[in-house]
DNA sequence: GTAAATTAAATTGTGTGCAATTTAATTGCT
DNA sequence: AGCAATTAAATTGCACACAATTTAATTTAC
């Protein structure tokens, strides 16, 4: 007989991650509202600030999101004139996402966000890195299993 | 001048948590689809299995969700005949959520889920507890700041 | 060269999640 | 007692997130 404490909310390992993820998105809002973007949109821009031009598929691979989520999100970013969506001439199934000048400029306003976010968490740099490393370990473990 | 690496996706602490949370919800689906419930619905049931009867507000406090999320969710659980939603006689603003016999019975089917989930993560028990403790630390840190 | 199979993105449908607001009931103050 | 303030839940509006499916284009196989 499995002991009951396995089914108590406080003993669930996954719930705090779920709750924390939502908390993080919430905390980001204070900063991102000023830029008029959401957290997932911010993630997209992070990738584009680093890579300038990406297909929907490439964005999806990096952000672990599918086109069902990305397509409307990217359309909204396009409407805000932060990105351009262009059908590739080489392969018309492919849509390339690139930064507009305004989108590129937003990077400057966003540069202090990661640091300020960290300041809101109340944990040490070590704890933060531990958290990240374990999270990434799980993600990588499951990435491999899915492809096997 | 803030170095650019602060704005690289790989160096974001928050993104792996965000991605992990979604991954966790995904992994849970394998088990919860059989019970015909979603992960947030599962969380609600976890609370009810432990506490039998809760107001919407109490559920919200425990799950860090507001009634905008909970009300439709609970309505769907009610439609599945897993819970009853009853207006309190003592205070008609209050809606009490209680388990139906079917809802209570589901606990038996769910008893192995936490353990099996753990098996899918590819981390040690220690790593899991570390992850949970840091996550809870952040959540508590921000719970206090919000009320201050 | 042509048809079948595969692929990239888009669409459809459903269930969250949260801010803002509304509705109805209760509490607090005078 | 009556009204203002507060509260619990519900609603409205919007942005995700993901499964399933569709559309259009490309690749593969014959």
From the CA of A148 to the C1' of C19: give the distance in Å: 42
- Cα–Cα distance between B9 and A120 in angstroms, integer? 19
ipTM over 0.95: no
Protein residues contacting strand C, judged by Cβ under 7 Å: A 18, 22, 25-26, 29, 55-57, 60, 67-68, 70-72, 74, 85, 91, 93-95; B 25, 38-41, 64-69, 72-73, 76, 90-93
pLDDT, one tens digit per residue, over A86-95 is 999 999 999 9
Q: Does domain A36-109 have CATH number 3.30.2090.10?
A: no
Contact across the interface for A6 and B50, Cβ inside 8 Å: no
- How many other CB atoms are there within 10 angstroms of residue B121's CB atom? 21
Nearest residue on chain A to B145, judged by CA atoms? Answer: A120
Q: How confident is the model at residue B147 (pLDDT cuts 50, 70, 90)?
A: very low
Q: How confident is the model at residue A148 (pLDDT cuts 50, 70, 90)?
A: very low
- Per-residue pLDDT for B91 more than 90? yes
pLDDT at position A7: 75
**Which of A41, A132, A38 lies closest to B16 in space, CA to CA?**
A132
Token reading at B57: 């507000």
User: Does residue A135 belong to the interface with chain B, where contact is any CB pair within 8 Å?
Assistant: yes
Which residue from B12, B19, B43 is facing A114, i.e. has the nearest CB? B12
Least confident piece of the model among A89-98, A108-117, B33-42? A108-117
Instruction: Quote the pTM value.
Output: 0.92
Please tell me the number of Cα atoms within 13 Å of A59 on its side-chain side: 29
Chain C bases closer than 7 angstroms to a protein Cβ: 7-13, 15-20, 24-27
Chain B residue numbers with beta carbons less than 8 Å from the beta carbon of A124 are none
User: Does residue A122 belong to the interface with chain B, where contact is any CB pair within 8 Å?
Assistant: yes
In whole numbers, what is the pLDDT of chain B averaged over residues?
91
Domain boundaries, chain B: 1-30+112-148, 36-109
- Per-residue pLDDT for B4 more than 70? no
Report which DSSP code applies to A4: G
- 3-state SS of chain A: helix, strand, coil percent to 5? 70, 10, 20
Q: How confident is the model at residue A38 (pLDDT cuts 50, 70, 90)?
A: very high
Least confident piece of the model among A117-126, B3-12, B38-47, B103-112? B3-12
Q: Which nt sits closest to A75, CA to C1'?
A: C10
Is the Cβ–Cβ distance between A19 and B138 less than 8 Å?
A: no
């Amino acid at each position: 007989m499995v002991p009951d404490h396995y089914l108590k909310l406080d003993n669930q390992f996954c719930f705090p991650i779920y709750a924390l993820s939502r908390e993080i998105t919430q905390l980001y809002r204070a900063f991102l509202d000023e830029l008029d973007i959401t957290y997932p949109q911010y993630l997209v821009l992070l990738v584009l600030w680093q890579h300038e031009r990406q297909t929907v598929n490439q964005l999806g691979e990096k952000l672990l999101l599918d086109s069902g989520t990305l397509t409307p999100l990217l359309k909204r970013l396009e409407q805000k004139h932060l990105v351009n969506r262009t059908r590739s001439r080489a392969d018309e199934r492919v849509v390339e996402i690139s930064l507009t000048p305004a989108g590129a400029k937003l990077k400057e306003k966003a540069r202090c966000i990661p640091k300020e976010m960290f300041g809101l968490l109340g944990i040490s740099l070590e704890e933060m890195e531990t958290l990240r490393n374990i999270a990434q370990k799980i993600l990588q473990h499951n990435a491999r299993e899915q492809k096997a």
